[in-house]
């Protein structure tokens, strides 16, 4: 019953991605860590057609444990994040419009706004391009999410982020897409976008850490 509940939650969360504009069609994927592996959305199946039984369970070697469908082509990216970041309970990869726009320009999201620190650093880096589903892409993402970072853009591709659970990973992705949108709009003015200093961003990250320690989520 617990396994079905988790699969159902993953399906419902996946469906919400299209409603929120984080995703379109069958692009993107989302996963949830479970004991000895993770659940992930299947390949090439529209979320509105996806059922709990369609969710694929993989072990940490990438082998299918439960499921009859092919896992998302990005399963390796999810597996490698789980393998290297113990705090990752859910991983979300999507192609939201503004994040993807910056990614196609090979641009990071710099420290123009203090909320950029929600990604764990003083910027949200753009990982160099690599073919989807490859070990090279995973390596590029892990490098872009070094230290305490929990999100990055993927050059000519989209974005990826992780958090403790499904609810918080969607909230994080929505915040990053909003930050990408505002930065894109700011650049359209033709003015140089002023940035906060590393010291100022460090202060914000420390404040965010204090909020998390008492269960807080915002200002």
Number of domains in the chain: 1
Residue 2 has pLDDT above 80, yes or no: no
Averaged pLDDT score across all residues of the chain: 93
Domain extent for 152: 2-213
Average pLDDT over residues 28-38: 95
* Model pLDDT for residues 109-126, shown as the tens digit of each residue: 999 999 999 999 999 999
Query: Does residue 218 sit within a domain?
Result: no
Residue 63 has pLDDT above 70, yes or no: yes
Q: Which residue has the tokens 């929505």?
A: 174
- The CATH number covering residue 20 comes to 3.40.225.10
Average pLDDT over residues 73-101: 97
Residue 216 has pLDDT above 80, yes or no: no
Query: Does residue 30 sit within a domain?
Result: yes
Query: Does residue 66 sit within a domain?
Result: yes
**Nearest residue to 13 (alpha-carbon basis) of 215, 174, 150, 176:** 174
CA atoms of 219 and 216, how far apart (whole Å) = 8
Residue 67 has a pLDDT of: 85
Query: Does residue 168 sit within a domain?
Result: yes
Residue 109 has a pLDDT of: 98
Catalytic residues: 74
Residue 194 has pLDDT above 60, yes or no: yes
**Nearest residue to 121 (alpha-carbon basis) of 215, 210, 214, 206:** 206
pLDDT range class, residue 24, cuts 50, 70, 90: confident
């Amino acid at each position: 019953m617990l396994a079905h509940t988790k699969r159902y939650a993953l399906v419902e969360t996946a469906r919400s991605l299209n409603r929120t504009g984080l995703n379109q069609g069958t692009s993107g994927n989302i996963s949830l860590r479970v004991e000895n592996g993770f659940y992930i959305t299947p390949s090439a199946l529209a979320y509105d057609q996806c059922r709990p039984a369609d969710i694929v369970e993989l072990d940490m070697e990438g082998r299918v444990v439960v499921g009859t469908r092919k896992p998302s082509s990005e399963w390796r990216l999810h597996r490698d994040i789980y393998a290297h970041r113990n705090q990752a309970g859910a991983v979300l990869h999507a192609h939201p419009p503004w994040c993807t726009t910056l990614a196609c320009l090979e641009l990071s999201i710099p420290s123009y706004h203090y909320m950029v620190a929600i990604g764990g650093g003083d910027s949200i880096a753009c990982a160099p391009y690599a073919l989807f589903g490859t070990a090279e892409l995973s390596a590029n993402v892990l490098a872009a999410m070094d230290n305490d970072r929990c999100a990055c853009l993927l050059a000519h591709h989209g974005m990826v982020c992780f958090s403790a659970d499904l609810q918080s990973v969607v909230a994080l992705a929505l915040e990053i897409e909003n930050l990408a949108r505002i930065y894109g709009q700011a650049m359209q003015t033709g003015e140089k976008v002023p940035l906060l200093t590393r010291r100022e961003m460090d202060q914000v990250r420390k404040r965010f850490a204090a909020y998390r320690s008492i269960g807080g989520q915002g200002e």
